[in-house]
Structure 1
Amino acid sequence: MTNPSEVPQPQQPGQPSGFHLQKPTDGPQSFNDVMPKGGFSGMFSVIGLPTELKVSYWIWLIGGMLGVLGSLFGLLATLAFFTVAPALAAVFLVLVLVALALAAAQIVFGLKMKEGKEWARLALTIVAGVSLVLAVIGGSMGEGIGNNWLGFLISAAATVLMWLPNSQAWFTAVKGRA
């Protein structure tokens, strides 16, 4: 009798041959597994990455840094808003802190994606999905929040680059070396 994990899975309609969607097996086991190797000083080295992943990495990294910067400005504005409407400012403060945490997580996920961690690539794909949801919600609220679509389009481009065949081959090769 064959092992169920060795049984070939039928190819899904519309799925290119050679592309197999599977759950990442390299998930973090501890907090240290999430932190980038060599600390944050290695964030500017992209040696060995295919061009698609280099572009995707820089999009995620710069987007995360801009998110942190925007959240810090939002934090200052929210603190000033406490003098006018404390209850509403408290809600804004929570939202700004969540945005700050998500931007910091995006940076860490980008750094781990650069190391070949498939779980980080999946997490960034989920971030792009959340970006789509926020764009839809923002678009349904009317005017003033139209820039959410630009953010989604940029994250969608970075996500597509992470899943192209050349990137897929690089992740497979890195997984084979580990």
Structure 2
Amino acid sequence: MTNFSRAPRSGAAGLFSLAGLPVELKVSFWIWFAGGVLSVLGGLLGMLGSLVLFAAAPAAATAVLILMLLAASVGVAQVVFAFRLKAGRAWARVALTVLAAITLVLAVVNGASGAGQAGNWIAFLVALAATVLMWLPRPQAWFRGAPGRNTSAE
């Protein structure tokens, strides 16, 4: 029997402490956290790049700036949800699942537009893996607060 504890250490020491979480949730947390940080960084770099575009095409630059702000905002939300997931908040698991679904929609739309960016599909597959890990039986039991329970009877 595995003893799952929901009480992480407080303060800076507890910020990245994953003690007591099932391995699946630890991996999922790191995927969501790293993806969120990369999204924030990509959004910020894109915003800087859009500043150069303002000289040549202000309307296009405005659209790019808005999209990059959105990407950075989603990244921040993803990081926040990952920390709430680690803290045992079931709603964060649902929110991250919705973000994975949005990633799928964006990949489909981007693929249909003929832009040919495989990065959206890769992002979706990574989000899908993190999502599946959150919903496996051991994490399910951990969220229900039933230590050691490995069944998925819902």
TM-score (norm 2): 0.84
1:104-132: CA deviations, max 9, x gaps? 00000000000000111000000000011
Unaligned runs of 5+ residues in structure 1 are 1-36
Q: Distance in 2 between matches of 1:105 and 1:64?
A: 8
1:36-69: CA deviations, max 9, x gaps? x957774321111100000000000000000011
The verdict on how the C-alpha distance between 1:39 and 1:140 changes in structure 2, with shifts beyond 3 A counting, is farther
Superposed CA RMSD in Å reads: 1.7
Q: Distance in 2 between matches of 1:127 and 1:86?
A: 30
Larger radius of gyration: 1
Amino acid at match of 2:66: V
Partner of 1:88: 60
2:37 equivalent to 1:72:
no
How many residues are treated as equivalent by the alignment? 138
Amino acid at match of 1:103: G
The verdict on how the C-alpha distance between 1:135 and 1:172 changes in structure 2, with shifts beyond 3 A counting, is same
Moved over 6 A (4+): none
Unaligned runs of 5+ residues in structure 2 are 1-8, 147-154
2:125 equivalent to 1:129:
no
State the 1:145 CA deviation.
Answer: 1.5
Partner of 2:136: 164
Partner of 1:63: 35
Partner of 2:77: 105
SS in 2 for 1:82: helix
